[in-house]
Structures are given as structure tokens and as C-alpha cells.
Structure 1
Amino acid sequence: MKYCMQCGSEYQEGVTECADCPGSALVDAEAMRQRHIPLPGEGETRKFVRAATAEDPFTAEDYVRLLEIQRIPVFIRPRRSGSVDVLTTGALEPWWEIMVGEEYLERAVQLIAQEKRQLEATSAEAALAAEEEERETEGSVPPGSL
């Protein structure tokens, strides 16, 4: 039997392309297992663990996009905490958890840390540019005031 790498559909020998996923190659069961893609009828046995957290959905989506490009199985899990939790427990949990397949945890953590550093550097550069622009405009005369 052959299987679609995208959707996991099973095909008989002789079929070369998935009917639902144009352009997706069909491979044998061993190739599916090597890629950690479950076969039809097999239960999902992957364990997902938290690789990172995000304070907002935009950052969470950015991390997911980054990991998907690297073909790391990932999903976002919203947390169930809120303002009452702060009052009762004194702890506010991050709003979003980035969950990855257990075997990809180390690589995912490295990629997200690298992305965080890049975002922080970009943020610092933007702040400096805004301060510079503000200093430049403070010294100029507003239009129409002459």
C-alpha cells in the first residue's frame, strides 16, 4: 500500500498521486513512520510538550509559523487562566502555550529562543529610531505656525 504524505490517505499500488492533495507524493508505510506521520487506523501516539509560551495570539502564531516551516509538529493551546486566578493563586499564567512533538522539543526551543532574540533586537532598533525621530521633530517648527 501507498500513503499520501499530506493527508495520510491509503492508495493501492499503481496510483501515483493523491486525489485530495494534488502534487503530494505517495510513499510506503516505512517512509510514513520515518516522518512520524501516523498511518490510517493507527492511533496518534505522539506526545506533545510545551516548548514556549506567548502573551498574545500574534506572537503565538509567529512561533507556530516558524516551527511549521521547519516541519515541526506544533499547535497552540490557549490557557484557561484569568484575573480570578491572580486573585486566588497570585500567579498569572501566559495566555498561549506552544506545544510540539516531544522528539522535536530541543530544536523547537532553540528556534523560538533565536526568534525571541531577533524580535527583541528589532524592537530595540525601532525604539531607538522612534526616539531619534522625536528629537528631530522637537527642534522643527510646526507647519503653519510662522
Structure 2
Amino acid sequence: MKYCMQCGSEYQDGVAECADCPGSALVDAETMNQRHIPLPGESDTRKFVRAATAEDPFTAEDYVRLLEIQNIPVFMRPRRAGVVDVLTTGALEPWYEIMVGEEYLERAVQLLAQEKRQLDDTSEDAALAAEEEERETESSVPPGAP
């Protein structure tokens, strides 16, 4: 028997692709067990732990996408909702938690730290470019001015 890695559906050996998940390859039971994906009828015993937090949904989605590419079991868990005021709410939790399989924690933390550095560098470069553009705009004389 073969199984879809995304939805867990079971297929006969002659089938090459999941009918519900286009593009998803089918694998044998041993591969599913190696990747800690439960087979149909088995209970999911994986333990997930927090690998990182994110303050906006775009960063959280970026982190999840990065880990999925590395075949690390991951999901994003929202921690807050609505309007939050530090004065009335008190101690605030991060907006999103990035949860990974316990056995992947060390690798996920390293990958996410590297991604965070790249995102921080990119945002610093963008801020510097915006400041430079603003200085150039302020220093230029508008057309037709005396």
C-alpha cells in the first residue's frame, strides 16, 4: 500500500498520485513512519514544541514555508486576536507561535534564526534606502521654483 504524505489517504500500489492532493507523491508505510506521519487508523503521537514566534502573519507564513521546504513537521498557532492595548492587557504573548516536531527543534531553531537575520538585514537595507530617497527628495528643488 502507498500513502499520501499530505492527507494520509491510502492507495493501491499501482496509483502514482493522490486524487485529493494534486502533485503530492505517494510513499510507502516505512517512509511515512520515518517522517513521523501517522498512517490511517494510527493515533498521532507526535509532540510539537515552540521553535519561534512572529509578530505578523507574513513572517509567520514565511517561517512555516521555510520549514515545510525542509520537510520539518510544522504548524502556526495564533496566540492573540483583536485589538491589544499593553496598558489594559498586561503581559502580552507573541502574535504567532511556530510549532515543530520535538525531534526537529534544534534544526528548526537554526534555520529560523538564519531566516530572521536575513529578514532583519533586508528591512534595515530598505529603511536606509527610504531615508536616502527622502533626503534626496527634500534636497531637490521643485521644477519652476526660483
With structure 2 as the length reference, what TM-score do the two structures score? 0.84
Q: Relative to 1, partners in 2 of residues 1:12 and 1:127: Cα closer, same or farther, differing over 3 Å?
A: closer
The alpha-carbon deviation at position 141 of structure 1 amounts to 0.6
Mean Cα deviation higher: 5-14 or 41-50: 5-14
1:65-121 CA deviation, whole Å, 9 max, x = no partner? 111111211111111477477546x31111111111111111111111111111111
Q: Relative to 1, partners in 2 of residues 1:136 and 1:26: Cα closer, same or farther, differing over 3 Å?
A: closer
The alpha-carbon deviation at position 12 of structure 1 amounts to 3.4
Gaps of 5+ in 1: none
- What is the match of residue 46 of structure 2? 46
Once residues 137 and 55 of structure 1 are traced to their aligned partners in structure 2, the CA distance between those partners, rounded to angstroms, is 32
Runs of 4+ aligned structure 1 residues displaced above 6 Å come to none
Percent identical residues? 83
Alignment check: 8 A CA contact 2:80 2:96 kept: no
The alpha-carbon deviation at position 50 of structure 1 amounts to 0.6
Q: Relative to 1, partners in 2 of residues 1:19 and 1:128: Cα closer, same or farther, differing over 3 Å?
A: closer
Alignment check: 8 A CA contact 1:86 1:92 kept: no
Name the Cα RMSD after superposition. Answer: 2.3
With structure 1 as the length reference, what TM-score do the two structures score? 0.84
1:20-54 CA deviation, whole Å, 9 max, x = no partner? 34554433321210121110000111111111111
- What is the match of residue 110 of structure 1? 110
Q: How many pairs were matched up? A: 145
Mean Cα deviation higher: 2-11 or 35-44: 2-11
- What is the match of residue 100 of structure 1? 100
